[in-house]
Structure 1
Amino acid sequence: MARILALDYGTKRTGIAVTDELQIIASGLTTVETKALIPFLKTYISKENVELIIVGEPKQMNFEASESEVFIAKFLETLTKEIPHLPVKRVDERFTSKMAFQTMIDSGLKKKQRQDKALVDEISATIILQSYLYNQS
């Protein structure tokens, strides 16, 4: 089996999570500046066996696309051109930022650490990936 990557895409930075090769455990990988995301992904994929990319799909409470979907759609066009051999799936990401923040509190992180937006993005990507894995079983 190969790894699955998950992205919590943002206009400034993107949180990235990855599974182990057995696709059992989702772990935060890193957060990168979005302008450097495609080169980062190409490098990572050249070194690791990846079979799928999951991208969070932000929706409003009424299930309509959020305002950020416009930016994500442009990114997805670039992603499929630059890395055409990997399929991309979308996963609903509503509440992931709130869940990530709560996870930070539950983990005992201090207030200063909880203000690290990059860490919130990485945890959000992990939650997106865990959601995908859970729904596959």
Structure 2
Amino acid sequence: MDETTRQQLGEVRGGTGSAPVLAATWRALLAHDPDVGVAAAFDLLAGEPRVKPSRSLVVDPGDAARRRWELRVAAAVALLGAPVVARVFDELRDELAADPHLAAEALAGVAPNRALDAQQQAALAALAQPG
């Protein structure tokens, strides 16, 4: 792994920057080293929290849980917007289908890449409107 990839990977996993900076880093990583970017995105998608933290709980989940949620959303948005999405579509669709909140936030944050065919676009549109 080269130094650029290592730095970008650290930034997307740490997620300390603003949302626009994080999005730009995801785009750069997925363009520079798509295989590492895809693996990093799915690592974050598989992480915690598996449901969106709520502010209305008796026990507040805290800022760390909310930030990890934001990193999961950013990873999904990055994959949806990248040309590599066509290659990993089935796995990404399954991740989004498992969590309607994640799907809604991710799909609201990006227009899916044009590399997707009409059937794949329709499947994402269905996920964007749960219920």
TM-score, with normalisation over the residues of structure 2? 0.31
Higher helix share: 2
Higher strand share: 1
Indicate the structure whose relative CO is greater, using CA pairs within 8 Å and at least 6 residues apart.
1
TM-score, with normalisation over the residues of structure 1? 0.30
